[in-house]
């Protein structure tokens, strides 16, 4: 909506200041303090051409703009002209837009583009870390965001299921492993074996050789060793899948690093044919001096390939076989160098898609201010964090709404939603400190707060007989927005500050979504949902809805419904569920 009125304001100003409307439109701002108005025009850039002070220009323009029918008031404040829109006109415009395109929640900017998003990607036999959690949450939100813009999205889980560590775990398994214990707590036990291996190797260095030999057997395709490895992969996956089920994570491709084993030779061959390989101390590397990066290690002196080699093969697979036009990697900031090297090698290989590769980095997630390390075996089991979040949500629900029918499902939606929202409300690059207490609270900038606001909107609609649907599938339909609203009705309505503010906030949705896509930044959606929830709750407290006169009630319920749909769609993008009752 604001975009439309920016355009209108720019066209009105253009003849007055002799600057084209497109340029002016870029200058127009939205004042940070809403008391100041809906739009603000800064006059600094005109000072030179008009040979007047910005203040003088502002005082000159303000009364001229006052005569425009879409403006209710314009005033000069220092170097700015602040503009208050004619609310009736603004609201009519927004509602008409919404009725014409109920789906302003989606668009098709991404048509004919396919993005491969590398997300989650935990390591077999190791705990699912906070970093993997962040990658899963951020990657899923980005995937949903792109899909809402018509992109084709591949959600790829690049499991760490290959590498020398498996040789070590296998050796430790033969020496100290217990099948039953592993079956019960696969990751905990397999990780303990890995830790034990390192402890024992300190006094018994021969173990290292054994480990290398075991990995060699794996690489050579020894069936018995492979069987053991497959078993470790499958028990680990069972545990990861429980976490994915809880988070509602889905993948289009689960392709571990091992998937690329038979694709390595051709990568090395291609590098060699393109004269990119240099031998250094027996190993083969790609020198990246011009890029100011350390050499990228491709093959060790014993012939073993590396993490980077597998990522090269994976990138080519995504581009050639899957047909992805850009490759995104949602991986912690500590792997920055790895991705710089990877993209540099792809560029050297002559692949122009390398410029469309993005490392979507993020900061650490700390619990109670501490970073979690898995090396020394100190594990915060993610599943425990999620379970605890759900348990606390359940406690709060039991207190607030003891008779709630679907309490279990609701507690899960709230508890998991709390963890997801806590992650996404801050820009991903920042470190986040996770406090369960704060995340699960129904007050403050939390998932439960916005979910509760959505449920409140549903409850109003239900009381008004406007929410009908299927409780078992949790699909609900309302029809207020589809029924036509008479523009005359809107004109007759008194658009008080609080109601107008709600409309204005809702109207930002499509532009916020677009910006979130452009910046690959889901936190903009999360902030928008918080603003919407705040504006709605003020409206709910200050303005009578169900008890209002027929006409007012009808219009207000339309706004309630618009709020409901907007929060629902936005939270869906972020990966949160929205129970209709809490």
**Which residue ranges make up the site for ligand ARG (CB under 6 A)?**
118, 121, 123, 158, 160, 311, 314, 329, 331
Q: How far is the CB of 89 from ligand ARG (least distance, A)?
A: 51
Question: In this structure, what token pair is assigned to residue 348?
Answer: 């050297």
Q: How far is the CB of 330 from ligand ARG (least distance, A)?
A: 8
Closer to ligand ARG by CB, 154 or 329: give it: 329
Nearest Cα to Cα of residue 537 among 580, 496, 501, 577: 501
Closer to ligand ARG by CB, 311 or 521: give it: 311
What secondary structure does DSSP assign to 369-423, as a single string? Answer: TB---STTS----HHHHHHHHHHHHHHHHHHH-TT-TTHHHHHHHHHHHHHHHHH
| CA 451 – CA 448 distance, rounded (Å) | 5
Closer to ligand ARG by CB, 215 or 329: give it: 329
Q: Which helix (H) or strand (E) holds 263?
A: none
Which parts of 53-132 are beta strand (E)? Answer: 71-77, 80-85, 114-118
Closer to ligand ARG by CB, 327 or 526: give it: 327
CA 535, chain centre distance (Å):
23
Q: How far is the CB of 118 from ligand ARG (least distance, A)?
A: 5
Identify the sign of the CA torsion 21, 26, 27, 33: positive
Closer to ligand ARG by CB, 160 or 448: give it: 160
**Beta strand 152-157 pairing with 253-254:** parallel
| CA 538 – CA 34 distance, rounded (Å) | 15
CA 522, chain centre distance (Å):
4
Closer to ligand ARG by CB, 520 or 524: give it: 520
Q: How far is the CB of 314 from ligand ARG (least distance, A)?
A: 6
Q: How far is the CB of 219 from ligand ARG (least distance, A)?
A: 19
| CA 38 – CA 114 distance, rounded (Å) | 38
Q: What b-and-e string marks burial along 389-400, b requiring 16 or more CB atoms within 10 Å of the CB?
A: bbebbbebbeee
Q: How far is the CB of 236 from ligand ARG (least distance, A)?
A: 12
Closer to ligand ARG by CB, 328 or 509: give it: 328
**Are 145 and 573 contacting, i.e. CB atoms less than 8 angstroms apart?**
yes
Closer to ligand ARG by CB, 118 or 284: give it: 118
- CA dihedral (410, 458, 138, 420) in degrees, to 10, reads -40
Q: In the bound complex, which residue of the shown chain has the CB atom lying closest to ligand ARG?
A: 160
Q: How far is the CB of 387 from ligand ARG (least distance, A)?
A: 23
Closer to ligand ARG by CB, 332 or 579: give it: 332
SS3 state of residue 208:
helix
Identify the sign of the CA torsion 16, 21, 26, 28: positive
Q: How far is the CB of 123 from ligand ARG (least distance, A)?
A: 5
Q: How far is the CB of 160 from ligand ARG (least distance, A)?
A: 3
Query: Which DSSP category does 299 fall into?
Result: E
Closer to ligand ARG by CB, 120 or 566: give it: 120
| CA 133 – CA 365 distance, rounded (Å) | 9
Closer to ligand ARG by CB, 331 or 419: give it: 331
CA 230, chain centre distance (Å):
32
Q: How far is the CB of 57 from ligand ARG (least distance, A)?
A: 54
Cα-only R_g, the chain: 29
Which long-range contacts does 101-108 make (Cβ < 8 Å, 24+ apart)?
102/481, 102/482, 104/509, 104/510, 105/148, 105/509, 105/510, 105/513, 105/565, 105/566, 105/569, 106/148, 106/149, 106/150, 107/148, 107/149, 107/150, 107/510, 107/513, 107/514, 108/149, 108/150
Closer to ligand ARG by CB, 93 or 329: give it: 329
Q: How far is the CB of 307 from ligand ARG (least distance, A)?
A: 7
Q: How far is the CB of 54 from ligand ARG (least distance, A)?
A: 51
């Amino acid at each position: 909506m604001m975009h439309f009125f920016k355009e209108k304001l720019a066209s009105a100003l253009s003849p007055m200041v002799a600057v084209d409307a497109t340029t002016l439109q870029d200058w127009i701002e939205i004042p940070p303090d809403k008391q100041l108005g809906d739009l603000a025009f800064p006059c600094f850039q005109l000072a030179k051409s008009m040979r007047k002070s910005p203040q003088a220009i502002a005082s000159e323009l303000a009364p001229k703009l006052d005569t425009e029918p879409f403006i209710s008031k314009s005033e000069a404040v220092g170097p700015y002209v602040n503009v208050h829109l004619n609310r009736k006109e603004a609201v009519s415009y927004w509602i008409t837009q919404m009725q014409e395109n109920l789906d302003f929640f989606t668009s098709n900017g991404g048509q004919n583009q396919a993005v491969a998003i590398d997300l989650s990607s935990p390591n077999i036999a190791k705990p699912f870390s906070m970093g993997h959690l962040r990658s899963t949450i951020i990657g899923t939100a980005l995937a949903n965001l792109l899909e809402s813009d018509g992109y084709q999205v591949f959600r790829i889980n690049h499991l760490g299921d290959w590498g020398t560590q498996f040789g070590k775990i296998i050796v430790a398994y033969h020496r100290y492993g217990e099948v039953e214990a592993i079956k019960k707590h696969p990751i905990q036990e397999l990780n303990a074996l890995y830790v034990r291996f390192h402890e024992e190797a300190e006094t018994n260095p021969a173990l290292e050789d054994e480990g290398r030999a075991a990995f060699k057997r794996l690489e050579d395709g020894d069936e018995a060793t492979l069987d053991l490895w497959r078993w470790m992969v499958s028990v680990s996956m069972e545990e990861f899948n429980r976490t994915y089920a809880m988070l509602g994570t889905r993948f289009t491709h689960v392709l571990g690093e091992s998937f690329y084993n038979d694709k390595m030779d051709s990568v090395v061959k291609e590098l060699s044919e393109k004269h990119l390989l240099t031998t250094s101390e027996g190993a083969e590397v790609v020198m990246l001096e011009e890029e100011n990066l350390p050499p990228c290690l491709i093959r060790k002196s014993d012939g073993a390939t590396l993490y980077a080699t597998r990522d090269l093969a994976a990138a080519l697979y995504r581009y050639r076989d899957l047909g992805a036009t850009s490759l995104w990697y949602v991986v912690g900031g500590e792997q920055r160098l790895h991705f710089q090297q990877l993209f540099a090698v792809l560029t050297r290989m002559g692949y122009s898609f390398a410029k469309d590769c993005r490392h979507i980095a993020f900061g650490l997630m700390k619990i109670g201010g501490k970073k979690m390390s898995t090396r020394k075996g100190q594990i915060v089991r993610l599943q425990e964090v999620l379970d605890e979040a759900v348990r606390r949500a359940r406690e709060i629900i039991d207190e607030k709404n003891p008779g709630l029918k679907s309490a279990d499902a609701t507690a899960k939606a709230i508890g998991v939603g709390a963890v997801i929202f806590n992650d996404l409300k801050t820009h991903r690059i920042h470190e986040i400190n996770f406090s369960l207490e704060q995340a699960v609270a129904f007050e403050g900038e939390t998932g439960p707060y916005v979910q509760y606001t959505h449920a409140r909107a549903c409850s109003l609609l239900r009381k008004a007989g406007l929410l009908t649907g299927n409780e078992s599938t949790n699909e609900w339909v309302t029809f207020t927005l589809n029924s036509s609203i008479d523009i005359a009705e809107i004109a007759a309505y008194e658009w008080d500050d609080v109601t107008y503010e709600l409309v204005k906030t809702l109207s930002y949705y499509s532009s916020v979504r677009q910006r979130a896509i452009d910046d690959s930044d889901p936190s903009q959606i999360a902030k928008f949902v918080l603003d919407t929830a705040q504006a709605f709750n003020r409206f709910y407290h200050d303005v009578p809805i169900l008890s209002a006169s027929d006409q007012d009630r009808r219009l207000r319920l339309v706004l309630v419904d618009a709020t409901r749909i907007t929060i629902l769609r936005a939270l869906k993008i972020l990966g949160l569920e929205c129970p209709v009752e809490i």
